[in-house]
């Protein structure tokens, strides 16, 4: 859709407001709106100003002026606002230099595809993330700055811990056991109508949905899968996906979270991420090697394996991510690859022999990540593998969760904490800098922000379980 088309659409559809959205390095969407009287085609060239110093890890207060330039191809009506509002996703521009801001994650994704094309290897990278999430009936948490305490409470009508609770309407049972939530029918699954409404809103917005279902964990874990799209489009769609999931939950008087591990001793929420590289209409991952993969795809896997520990800082970027990345909860921590095998960090789906479906599924990521950065980093790691012909080794075609340490000797494992992952990223990120896709400043800013605002803050706080373990020491 061209800028002229958008101006005409605003008039024809009686749109009242234009909403501008952009994303920070954390993966948080920000927005502001203007009445349509303030909108004209010039915003696509001159942009709209905002205060960059109020966005985490961006500008200092003495250099705060920035611009958003909307992408007309991203225009969609907001499905929740009462006043008809046209939303556009924006790129961020430095107000002084008028150049793309190098800490803008969306610009990183654009540069990644430009770099892929410049190598001559392929034209486009396609992504299909499977973002899991929880839908709770209630969540309460408190961490007073005065140090007087800390707590959280989760509640869900589906949760197994409520099987003995009394309620005003009576307890009707049909609770989901821990790790027992995969594909139950109603009345055990209480969230089908909710998921269907989310899927319907996404479809109306032009985001194709392939499947929707309850996931393994108790307490309302769900998954809704979108059809694969080019990297930038899918990163945009994932932002809409999270927005629709959360706001629809609020409509149902529930709350949705993409936090990787909110429930102790049950499965966490991952984001298994399917990826492939294409040239024209040819899927370059299809071939005659292992399970129908090409040699190029195997080299791509080699790059993922080699840079896994640094890559995971971007695909699993929260302290909570590493509470999910433990053996026994369907969270692969060993960087091996295998067909069908869901215990391997890199799985090769074998549902179809169609060459167009050949892809690599990286199972370690979680939905707390910034998709623009995470998807781009996956492509850059894979390209490094292709360019340097990195051998991923032999596939590991058995259940890794029950494999001896001796058999896993030499296998790269995921970091055990965000702190470790950030150290790995700091020591191994030259592959991200190729083509100026990521800049050294962006990488270091990401590391410094995560250490200061998350790792250090978490490390300094007493944990409720520490009182159980150590109060009587």
Q: Where are the domains of the chain?
A: 3-100, 124-470
Q: Is residue 429 a contact partner of residue 446, using CB atoms and an 8 Å limit? A: no
Give yes or no: 272 in active site.
yes
- Helix and strand element counts for the chain (H, E): 14, 18
Selection from 386, 403, 285, 281 nearest residue 336 by Cα: 403
- Determine the pLDDT at residue 123: 97
CB atoms within 10 A of CB 98: 11
Is-catalytic flag, 215? yes
- Strands 229-230, 76-77: pairing is unpaired
Residue 431's DSSP bridge partners are none
Contact in structure between 426 and 379 (CB atoms under 8 Å): no
pLDDT at position 292: 93
Is CATH 3.10.20.70 the right assignment for the domain spanning 3-100? yes
Nearest to 271 by CA among 355, 348, 330, 219: 330
| pLDDT at residue 343 in the model | 77
Q: What one-character DSSP code corresponds to residue 226?
A: E
State residue 330's pLDDT score: 67
Nearest to 235 by CA among 425, 133, 106: 106
Catalytically annotated residue among 215, 229, 236, 454: 215
Q: Where are the alpha helices (DSSP H) in 136-223?
A: 192-204
- Considering the candidates 361, 366, 419, 454, report the single residue annotated as catalytic: 361
223 is catalytic: yes
Residues shown for the chain: 473
Could you confirm whether 51 is annotated as catalytic? yes
Active-site annotation holder among 130, 229, 266, 384: 130
Considering the candidates 19, 104, 223, 424, report the single residue annotated as catalytic.
223
Q: What confidence score (pLDDT) does residue 341 get? A: 73
* Active-site annotation holder among 5, 13, 51, 203: 51
Q: Is 468 a catalytic residue?
A: no
Q: Which residues of the chain have pLDDT under 50?
A: none
pLDDT value of position 43: 93
Q: Which CATH number fits domain 124-470: 3.40.50.80, 1.20.1090.10, 3.30.590.10, 3.30.70.20?
A: 3.30.590.10
Rounded to two decimals, the pTM is 0.95
Tokens of 433: 């800098």
132 catalytic residue (yes or no): yes
pLDDT in tens, 178-197: 998 999 999 999 999 999 99
DSSP at 454: I
Q: Is 130 a catalytic residue?
A: yes
């Amino acid at each position: 859709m061209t800028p002229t088309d958008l101006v005409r659409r605003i008039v024809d559809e009686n749109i009242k407001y234009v909403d501008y959205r952009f994303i920070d390095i954390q993966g948080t969407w920000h927005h502001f709106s203007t009445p349509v009287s303030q909108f004209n085609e010039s915003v696509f060239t001159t942009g709209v100003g905002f205060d960059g110093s109020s966005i985490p890890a961006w500008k200092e207060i003495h250099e705060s002026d920035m611009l958003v330039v909307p992408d007309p191809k991203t225009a969609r009506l907001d499905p929740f606002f009462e006043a008809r509002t046209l939303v556009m996703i924006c790129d961020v521009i430095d107000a002084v230099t008028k150049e793309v801001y190098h800490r803008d994650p969306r610009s990183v994704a654009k540069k990644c595809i430009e770099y892929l094309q410049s190598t001559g290897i392929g034209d486009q990278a396609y992504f299909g993330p499977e973002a899991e999430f929880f839908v709770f009936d209630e969540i309460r948490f408190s961490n007073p700055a005065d140090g007087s305490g800390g707590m959280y409470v989760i509640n869900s009508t589906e949760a197994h811990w409520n099987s003995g609770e009394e309620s005003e309407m009576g307890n009707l049972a049909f609770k989901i056991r821990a790790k027992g939530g995969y594909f139950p029918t109603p009345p055990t699954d209480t969230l089908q109508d909710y998921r269907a409404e989310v899927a319907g809103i996404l479809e109306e917005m032009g985001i194709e949905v392939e499947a929707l279902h309850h996931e393994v964990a108790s307490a309302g874990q769900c998954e809704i899968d979108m059809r694969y799209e080019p990297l930038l489009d899918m990163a945009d769609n994932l932002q809409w996906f999270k927005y629709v999931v959360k706001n629809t939950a609020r409509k149902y008087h529930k709350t949705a979270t993409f936090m990787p591990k909110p429930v102790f001793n049950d499965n966490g929420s991952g984001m298994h991420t399917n990826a492939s590289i294409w040239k024209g209409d040819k899927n370059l991952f299809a071939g005659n090697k292992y399970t129908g993969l090409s040699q190029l795809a195997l080299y791509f896997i080699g790059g993922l394996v080699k840079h896994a520990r640094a890559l995971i800082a971007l695909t699993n970027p929260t302290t909570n991510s590493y509470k999910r990345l433990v053996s026994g909860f369907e969270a692969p921590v060993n960087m091996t690859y295998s067909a069908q095998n869901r215990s391997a960090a890199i799985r090769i789906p074998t549902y179809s022999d169609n060459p167009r479906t050949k892809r690599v599924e990286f199972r370690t990521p979680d939905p707390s990540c910034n998709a623009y950065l995470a998807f781009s980093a996956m492509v850059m790691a894979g390209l490094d593998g292709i360019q340097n012909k990195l051998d991923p080794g032999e596939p590991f075609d058995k259940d890794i969760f029950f494999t001896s340490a001796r058999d896993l000797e030499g296998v790269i494992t995921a970091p055990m904490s965000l702190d470790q992952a950030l150290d790995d990223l700091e020591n191994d990120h030259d592959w991200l800098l190729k083509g100026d896709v990521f800049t050294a400043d962006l990488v270091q800013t990401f590391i410094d922000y995560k250490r200061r605002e998350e790792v250090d803050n978490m490390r300094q706080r007493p944990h409720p379980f520490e009182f159980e373990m150590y109060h009587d020491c």
